[in-house]
Amino acid sequence: MSSELAFDGELPLRLPLKACSALESYPGLLERRNRCIAAIGQDTGRSGDWLGRIDELLGYAGALLSIDDELEVELSAEVAIAILDAAAFEQELALEVLERAYGSDVADAGWGTSGRCLRRGLGLVQYVELRFEQCLPRLCGLTTQLALEFQFLQQAGIVVLSLSKLRSKVYKGRREAVLDFYEQDLSELASNSGLYARLVIGCHDTALRCSRSSSIINKPVLTYLDSLGLLLVSLEQYSNDASGVALGMIQLAISRLNKIVPSSQLNDSILTKKKKRDFLKNAISTKSRKWTRKKVELLPVLQETLDDFVIPLALLLRYRFTQTNEKLSYQPIETDETVLRKLIPRGKAPELKGSQWYLNLNEQSLQQETPSQGAYY
């Protein structure tokens, strides 16, 4: 059975098709097990489907745990698989909610709901760590990986919320408001850019700690976060009247974006266009459907922020910084990446706290303790 828990980056884990002999005396459990196999095998689903699948898995795990406090190794593995798959589905649900919330009027509420999913999921991973790692040592790498992924997703959620707030400042209720962006708008946009940059950098640092086998964190994610951090720091530099540094930094950010975005979306110089408005309309209307997918890709919610906001903002900032530097500041453009990287601040990475789970023997179910109110980290 231990081979069933060899983690190769693919979730959900699969229950063996053949049930172990210890379950033969429990026909009801065999039926629940078959429902779990079906739930794990579903392709995808809307949020209601995720919740139903989570309930099915946790119900089966609770029923197994209620048999005996000291389960056989094979049954312990079944419980661990069911709980970890439920945790993985909490990840999926959190990402789905976050994607729907981005750019909407309910971004804060969506972020809170997504955070509760992540708290539950991390708590489930920690429950497995405490309960089963002694008898299932192969779980160690898997639970460590999943715990880091939950931390990353919580921090990525904060990044998405921050971008949603920046977006509302730029678009101001009209999709083309970015086309008429003035100096006072830049000052307002830069007001929290230092904090947002630290959050992005902290998220990037957490992503670097994850295993290469992660199905969530990959090179495009790292590149996206690196370029976004540079973009936000460039805003802060510009607000400090360092237009030469800001221009060098936004150019570096765009060169990093070029690793995950086709050159056609980034290489057209805005200064060669007759009308800034026409160029930016073209940039904003360019969507991910024209992107040739690679073997690994961004999470959908990060892809949405990239296409909808990060790319057009980066192009706009390059244009604005260039105009200011050529007409007002006359500062040399800093092109040394080593110098630019030294200006990057230390990251800020809030820690996610997992919720507490316990076995309710009366109901033979695994249940979450009543969560505390307030922030989830």
Map tokens 């249940």 to a residue.
367
Distance CA 360, CA 66 (A): 8
Angle at 102 between CA 229 and CA 218, to 5 degrees: 50
Residue 270 has pLDDT above 50, yes or no: no
Q: What is the pLDDT of residue 170?
A: 75
Report which listed range, 187-201, 289-303, 360-374, is most confident: 187-201
pTM as predicted: 0.87
Distance CA 185, CA 174 (A): 14
68-124 pLDDT, tens digit each: 767 888 889 999 999 999 999 999 999 999 998 887 888 788 889 999 999 999 999
Asked if residue 329 belongs to a domain, the reply is: yes
Asked if residue 373 belongs to a domain, the reply is: no
What DSSP string runs through 57-123? HHHHHHHHHTT-SS--HHHHHHHHHHHHHHHHHHHHHHHHHHHHHTTSTTHHHHHHHHHHHHHHHHH
Asked if residue 59 belongs to a domain, the reply is: yes
Intra-chain end-to-end CA distance of the chain, in Å:
36
Distance CA 248, CA 342 (A): 13
CATH no. for residue 197?
A: 1.25.40
What is the count of structural domains for the chain? 1
Asked if residue 285 belongs to a domain, the reply is: yes
The domain of 357 spans: 2-368
DSSP classification of residue 371: P
Using DSSP, state whether 359 is helix, strand or coil.
strand
162-181 pLDDT, tens digit each: 999 888 877 765 555 555 56
Asked if residue 80 belongs to a domain, the reply is: yes
